[in-house]
Structure 1
Amino acid sequence: MNVGIFGANGRMGRVLIEAVQESSETTLTLATVRDDSPWIGMNVGDVAGVRNQTIACTGISTIQPDDVDVMIDFTLPAAFEHNVNWCVCNVVPLVLGTTGLNQAQEQILKDAAITIPIVYAANYSVGVNVMLALVKQAAKALGETADIEISEAHHRFKQDAPSGTAIAIGKVIADELKRDLDDCAVYGREGKSPVRDHNTIGFATVRAGDIVGEHTALFADIGERLEITHKASSRLTFAKGAVRAAEWLVQKKPGLYSMSDVLGLAES
């Protein structure tokens, strides 16, 4: 299967190159960078620090769909519309890991999924997606009595807060409890405040150093508490999950899929 990567010189782009190379099922045939990037024309192996790569980085406006079965995109929201439109125009499936999309962009994504198959996930780690299934079960059993808090930590360079994964955890819990996350989420506390509203879901965010990603869902009642935690130690975890999603997606019909679909957890 031939794979292309948008934003090949980014932090995730470089790891995706490594993950595609490690998979026996995939071959990297396209790697894009910005049109003004000094990486244009450079061997992707040199960009990612891996061997046995023979293709060169290509400017985003000059890419061609020849010999590409699926694209993977972990770039920033600013590049989202161009990338998804390119995939739609060329009928190329897309694995999307860009977080921080606004409502208009989410609608563009839904519209694109009418034409092409898309996997969209806030986090491609297999462990995180198992965690999402577990917090749904915890919410069902404990949500009516326990206070719920979600904490997350990432590296100093991450721009969106809370993380897309933290929001995904909160949404799974809120949906299970028939609550609207937009109404019940509390994203910060400072100074004196009224007694905690039991129906709220709290979020706490840390940005520091080179933390790859840590997420905890806390269900706290009087006398006991349950904590469900996932810690990632390498970005390669996310990249391998994205490659797994690409392998799964390439034969699917148009539609918007999740990592839970890829892993067979959708009905959990």
Structure 2
Amino acid sequence: MTQTLRFAVAGARGRMGQAVLKVLTERGFEVALAFDKGDVIDLSGADAVIDFTTPYASIDIAHACADEGEARGKPLAHIIGSTGWMPAEEQSLKTLTDRVTIVRAGNFSLGVNMLMGLVKQAAAKLPAEDWDIEVLEAHHKRKVDAPSGTALMLGQAAAIGREVDLGEAKVAARDGLTGQRVDGTIGFSVIRGGGVIGEHSVLFASEDEIITLSHSARDRTLFARGAIEAALWAVGKSAGAYDMQDVLGFNG
């Protein structure tokens, strides 16, 4: 796709919305609409929507994308970076994937998505009875969901590597727990403070050694750049549910 693509940016007054607008401007793309909570969503001038808001807002935006896509006879691309999804919200979004080209990821960083592949491989090779897995993450004090979407992505990669269900293996909070750690569990540790953009590590610990795979985000524009690349990939694709592994070609 060429630079003639027109973008709509949701959550335009937020930190990520501002970062997306900055990168779009730098790269010479046209911003057809920049909107936030309470604004009218008119997508008639947009080819793709980049959306770092909340699950509730993202569902409304997906409905607007579906309606606009039907009006013009081809699906819009909806790039979703919202995190903290509940099962009912997941299901609501799923009902729209036959009308919208949705790329959703807990993290649009190329580095994080490469890290997922490494975590999956390590988890597959290191036996659960000898190696504990702990996902550690730190974010700024304004982040409302925990564990982060990225941490859950990394935990899911570990679960896939071990061929287990993350919902059954996950230990996301240890308050009130007693006794030793159960073999095979995938733990999550969370830090919230200051202006931390995003720090993620996956620790593989045995009795004798520790392996740590990690990623640090230094600038929010890296997420914006990844989301824009996802949009460039998604425009013109069939309606459906995709993620960054599809964008990067890891899913074949």
Q: By the TM > 0.5 criterion, same fold?
A: yes
Q: Do 2:230 and 2:244's aligned partners in 1 also have CA atoms closer than 8 Å?
A: yes
Partner secondary structure for residue 232 of structure 2: helix
Contact map agreement 1:95 1:118 (CA 8 A) in 2 = yes
Is structure 2 residue 36 aligned with structure 1 residue 33? Answer: yes
* In the alignment, structure 1 residue 67 sits paired with structure 2 residue 45: yes
Structure 1 regions of 5+ residues with no counterpart?
36-58
Aligned partner of residue 95 in structure 2, secondary structure: helix
Q: In 1, are the aligned partners of 2:58 and 2:80 still within 8 Å (CA)?
A: no
**Structure-1 residue corresponding to 2:80:** 96
Deviation at residue 191 of structure 1 after TM alignment: 6.6
Q: Distance in 2 between matches of 1:103 and 1:186?
A: 18
Please give the alpha-carbon distance, in whole angstroms, between the structure 1 residues aligned to 2:103 and 2:59.
16
Aligned length in residues = 241
Distance in structure 2 (CA, Å) of the matches to 1:196 and 1:33: 44
CA distance in 2, matches of 1:68, 1:192: 50
Please tell me whether the aligned partners of residues 170 and 187 of structure 2 are also in contact (alpha carbons under 8 angstroms).
yes
Deviating above 4 A after TM superposition, structure 1's stretches of 4 or more consecutive aligned residues are: none
Residue 61 of structure 2 aligns to a residue in which SS? helix
TM-score normalized with structure 1 length? 0.86
Kept in 1, the 8 Å contact 2:6–2:46? The answer is yes
**Percentage of matched positions with identical amino acids:** 40
Residue 21 of structure 2 is aligned with which of 2, 14, 17?
17
Residue of structure 2 in register with 1:116 after alignment = 100
* Amino acid paired to 1:219: F
Partner residue, 2:63: 85
Partner of 2:183: 198
Q: In 2, are the aligned partners of 1:155 and 1:212 still within 8 Å (CA)?
A: yes
> How far 1:178 sits from its partner (Å)?
2.0
- Report the counterpart of residue 129 of structure 1 in structure 2: 113
Q: Distance in 2 between matches of 1:121 and 1:135?
A: 17
Aligned partners of 2:171 and 2:187 also within 8 Å: yes
What is the SS of the residue equivalent to 1:18?
helix
Instruction: Write the distance in 2 (CA, Å) between the matches of 1:8 and 1:151.
Output: 29
8 A Cα contact 2:102 2:239, kept in partner: yes
Select 2:247's aligned residue among 259, 262, 265: 262
**Quick one: which amino acid aligns to residue 120 of structure 2?**
K
Corresponding residue number in structure 2 for 1:42 = none
Superposition deviation, residue 143 in structure 1: 4.2
Distance apart, 1:188 and its partner CA = 2.3
Cα–Cα, structure 1 residues 18 and 174, in superposed 2: closer, same or farther, change >3 Å?
Answer: same
Structure 2 unpaired stretches of 5+: 70-75
- Comparing 256-265 and 120-129, the one that deviates more: 256-265
C-alpha displacement of 1:138 = 0.7
SS at match of 1:138: helix
Q: Distance in 1 between matches of 2:116 and 2:64?
A: 31
SS in 1 for 2:163: coil
CA contact (8 A) 1:71 1:93 kept: yes
Task: Report if the CA contact (8 A) 1:143-1:219 is conserved.
Answer: no
The answer (yes or no) to whether the contact 2:8–2:43 under 8 Å persists in 1 is: no
- Alpha-carbon spacing, 1:89–1:227, altered in 2? closer, same or farther (3 Å): same
Q: In 2 relative to 1, CA 187–32 (structure 1 residues): closer, same or farther, beyond 3 Å?
A: same
